[in-house]
Structure formats: C-alpha cells, structure tokens
C-alpha cells in the first residue's frame, strides 16, 4: 500500500486533519495511546496487516512515516 493511501487511512481516524509522513504523532497530531490503538485497529482492518505481531513497533512509533514503514514492512 502506498504512503499516501496509508496517510489517508490515518487521517480517517482524525476527522478534519491532514496527515503527512513527516508529522509527529504526539506533537503535530495530538495522538495519545488510545488514539494510536484506534489508528492501528483501523489500519489492521483496512490493510490486512497483523497488528498484534507489530504492536511493540507501533507503540514506539513517533512519526507518521514510522507507522507507514511498519505497515509497508508487514505487507511484504
């Protein structure tokens, strides 16, 4: 899945927000741990990745591009 498509999925969880790969999850987007889990579950549903196998990576993610990289790596 493309970076742009993954950013759009993330943005769908954050109504009214544009999402770019360089954005900080916490500082730019205001995502807390519950918000992160919401994003992860939507990504799992829409991309078919096994989120539980990558939960540690998602928790450590700081930027949107980190989430994109996890999803793209999980899809390989």
pLDDT of residue 76: 54
User: Measured on CA atoms in the order 36, 41, 57, 65, is the torsion positive or negative?
Assistant: negative
| Residue range 17-68, pLDDT digits in tens | 999 999 999 999 999 999 999 999 999 999 999 999 999 999 999 999 999 9
Tokens of 35: 């918000």
Cα separation, 64 vs 54, in Å, equals 15
- 53 burial (CB, 10 Å; 0-12 / 13-18 / 19+) is exposed
Tokens of 76: 């390989």
CB atoms within 10 A of CB 49: 19
């Amino acid at each position: 899945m493309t970076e742009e498509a993954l950013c759009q999925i993330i943005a769908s969880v954050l109504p009214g927000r544009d999402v770019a790969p360089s954005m900080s999850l916490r500082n730019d987007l205001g995502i807390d741990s519950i918000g992160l889990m919401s994003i992860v579950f939507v990504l799992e549903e829409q991309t078919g990745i096994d989120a539980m196998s990558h939960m540690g990576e998602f928790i450590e993610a700081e930027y949107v591009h980190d989430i994109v990289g996890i999803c793209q790596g999980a899809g390989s």
